[in-house]
A and B are shown apart, each in its own frame.
Chain A
Amino acid sequence: MTVVVDNCSKWYGHVLGVSDVSWQLRGGIVGLLGPNGAGKSTLIKMMAGLLRPSRGSLTVFGKSPFHDVAVRRRIGYAPEHEKTWDELTALELVTVMARLAGVAPHDARGAAERALAQMGMTDAMHRRVRGFSKGMRQRTKLATAIAHDPDFLLLDEPLTGVDPIARVDIVERIRKLAAAGKTVVVSSHVLYEIESLTSEIVVIYRGQVLAEGNVYEIRKLIDRHPHRIRVECDRPRDIAAELATADHVARIVFERGGVLIETRDPDRCYDALAQVVIDRGIVVSALSSPDNNLGAVFEYLTGESRGRA
């Protein structure tokens, strides 16, 4: 087991960071999802050995990362903040980080060059970090996290402020790291960023884990939350008229250029919808299920939490 979090809580004075979190991580890419201030960074910093739990325990590879110096050799951490040592070039920065992570002095420069190349920074590696764009800073941070070839990567908001092209590129590179056998934890408050990386998520809100697992499994847990199907078509009223009386349809909402159907039985609803479209010759331009998007799950889960509070 890479990470075991057992009834772990963290307070900053009277402010709650995370509360009574229990969670285990075996491998692969896992997305930590939650709004700003939810406790994602606190959890990541505890896993990186920067914070110690106020209560409970947290181990990485069986050791406490705060107290056990050696286990941090196996961890690669890219913090959320942008600040680095701007006076250094990217190569100098990554080389220093590699050396401090235990890469032998004569290998450190080579390891830094490889890490920067992996992040697409070869052309800029001799430039000082001071002049870098946000995307280049993020890539450099990721290079500092991977230069010592860690087993476990903690990437705190690695896509924040990155332009769409760079985002696609960074996502692909993170996926490659996971494919190479690394365990990767990525945090974000932006749903589609996580979704583009993994379907394995942990939803955090107000310091608590609201749900974890595959996004589809999480969806199953939400039994009171009807499944939604959005149909963009030329005659939404015909579809509504046909499905309005079906017992599996909970609600129908007209939207611009289409209709949103909420159903308690998605399989039956998809069958009925297909039948209506064929029978009436309706032209469907798009069919989507917002519930397959993390956004719907997150909104529902956090809404539930607020409702309970």
Chain B
Amino acid sequence: MTDHRVPGSLETVMTIAALTWKRLARGRALWVGVIISSLLVPFASAVRSSGNAGTGEELIMFALLTLAVVPPMFVSSSIGEEIEERTTTYLWSRPVPRWTVLAGKLATLVPVTIVLAVGSWSLAMLVGPQRPPSPESCLALAAGVTAISMMAAGIATLVPKHGMPLSICYMLFFDLPIGAMPISLSELSITHHVYTLTGMFRDGATMPRSLLALAILCAVWGTVAIWRIRRLEV
């Protein structure tokens, strides 16, 4: 062997992203994600037929519920199964930094989840309140998907075997409840900040703060995931 070329980080991330997409597209998880996300549309229709389609608050609450499920389903299961089933041995025995594996997976899974979340939200707004969604609300959902995905990645690296259920439980039993509380603890809630960022129901002045909070939460969970993945031995 003469050429001992080591692949660049960007090249590796792109390769892992393509691999992740291929596996996602050929598996069942994508279709389950599509179904769960699209539940928002019949819900919007039901709300409208009940004569209460004005503000869209019910819709955003329902959208946050789907966000509690879909990103963990994609991200936690993808990372957790990889570690648990030891297919990571193929990846980590290659001349690539471990963080690139994480980045490659997120590079596919986050955009796919954003498309599902924003797409179903847009459709639901058209079906329910019968107006297009605001750019702020779409950006809020995209930011929320990103932050929840980072959280799901962190939990999956900490507890690979039960990454998906634990991430969903975290969202349903910690993040959503504390986000609804009128106390400072709600600052730790991703859904609280997504709700604020939509700009639909709260003072717009708090939006930059919520954006910063989401960025910090992303950074914390991302650090946890990278720290853990660098130390993992399989």
Contact = CB atoms under 8 A, between A and B. Distances in A.
A and B interact physically: yes
Interface of A: 45, 48-52, 69-75, 77, 79, 81, 83-85, 87-88, 92, 96-97, 99-105, 144, 149-151
B1 interface: yes
Given A85-B23, A97-B90, A97-B94, A73 B12 contact: no
29 contacts: A45-B89, A48-B89, A48-B93, A50-B89, A69-B95, A69-B97, A70-B4, A71-B95, A72-B94, A73-B95, A74-B1, A77-B89, A79-B89, A79-B90, A81-B86, A81-B89, A85-B19, A85-B23, A96-B18, A96-B19, A100-B7, A100-B16, A100-B94, A101-B95, A102-B3, A102-B6, A103-B5, A105-B11, A150-B1
A95 B26 CA distance: 18
Interface in B58-106: 85-87, 89-97
- Pick the most buried of A52, A77, A81, A102: most chain B CB atoms within 10 A of its CB: A102
Given A84-B87, A87-B23, A87-B26, A50 B4 contact: no
Given A97-B90, A102-B95, 13 more contacts: A45-B234, A50-B234, A69-B6, A75-B93, A79-B93, A88-B19, A99-B7, A99-B11, A100-B15, A100-B95, A102-B3, A102-B6, A150-B1
Contacts of B19: 85, 88, 96
Given A100-B7, A104-B5, A83 B86 contact: yes
Contacts of A149: 1
4 nearest A-B pairs in the assembled complex, by CB-CB distance: A87-B26, A77-B93, A73-B95, A100-B94
Interface of B: 1, 3-7, 11-12, 15-16, 18-19, 22-23, 26-27, 85-87, 89-97, 233-234
Contacts of B5: 73, 102-104
Contacts of B87: 83-85
- What is the interface of chain B mostly: helix, strand, loop, or mixed? loop
Contacts of A77: 89, 93
Given A81-B86, A99-B15, A105-B11, A72 B233 contact: no
A96 B15 contact: yes
Contacts of B27: 87
B22 A87 contact: yes
Contacts of B86: 79, 81, 83
Contacts of B4: 70, 73-74, 102
Contact of B22 (A71, A88, A101, A104): A88
Nearest to A92: B22
A71 B85 CA distance: 25
A51 to B, nearest CB: 5
Nearest to B98: A69
Contacts of A79: 86, 89-90, 93
Contacts of A85: 19, 23, 87
B89 A70 contact: no
Given A100-B7, A149-B1, A72 B85 contact: no
A73 B5 CA distance: 7
B88 to A, nearest CB: 8
B97 to A, nearest CB: 6
Contacts of B1: 74, 149-151
Contact of B90 (A84, A92, A103): A84
Nearest to B91: A100
A72 B23 contact: no
Nearest to B232: A50
B95 A70 contact: yes
